[in-house]
Amino acid sequence: MATTADRHGAGARPASLRLPGILLGVGLGGFVDGILLHQILQWHHMLTSTDQDRIGVKYYDPDTVSGLEMNTVWDGFFHTVCWIAVLTGLAVLYSRVTHHRRRVWTSRVLWGWMLAGWGLFNLVEGVLDHHILVIHHVHAGDDQVWWDIGFLVLGALLLLGGWLLQRGGRPFDPEARRAPDA
């Protein structure tokens, strides 16, 4: 049976862990954002930027009961998307590596792609929500632009670090070591 390296040339790296790793990283990174920044630190919720009026999005003041209720609903939608990303990542991972689970979970490749996915989440969410839609900031106030930039820098570092980590791992090909049918 041909391995991925045989099919794609010597030294080729299989992509079997890329998609599930990125999906898991996006979902778990979103959970870190939502749990840490929305719930524990309460720095922002989904719709707490006072700049929203300029783009036609209703501002929900988190200092009022009705505003906090609406932000909690939108935080719930956000967490639902994170949950779906994690479930999808697990489903894709399971479908690709059912015979090699232990080897995969200890793989630098999978963990690297998960970090890259977290970084991708930070970059997309940071650019879209903090700068384009301006529906919230990382930490509103006089220095909010620096918090938003720091969030993007963290995302870029996670993406780069994850990419480097996965490159240092051994390629994984679920077909390469599959035991023949008895």
Q: What is the DSSP string of 42-68?
A: ----TT--GGGGGGTPPP--TTSHHHH
| Average pLDDT of span 108-118 | 94
Q: What is the DSSP string of 133-145?
A: S-S--SS-STTHH
> Which DSSP state fits 177?
T
Q: Which of the given ranges, 2-16, 30-44, 85-99, has the highest pLDDT on average?
A: 30-44
Q: Which of 87, 93, 98, 84 is nearest to 113 (CA)?
A: 93
Q: Which of the given ranges, 6-10, 98-102, 156-160, has the highest pLDDT on average?
A: 156-160
Contact 37, 138 (CB under 8 A): yes
* 56 φ/ψ sector (left φ>0, alpha ψ -120 to 50, else beta): left
* For the chain, domain boundaries: 15-168
Can you give the pTM of this predicted structure? 0.79
| Average pLDDT of span 22-47 | 95
- Is pLDDT at 11 greater than 80 in this prediction? no
Residue 155, token pair as written in the block: 């995302």
Confidence class of residue 8 from pLDDT cuts 50, 70 and 90? very low
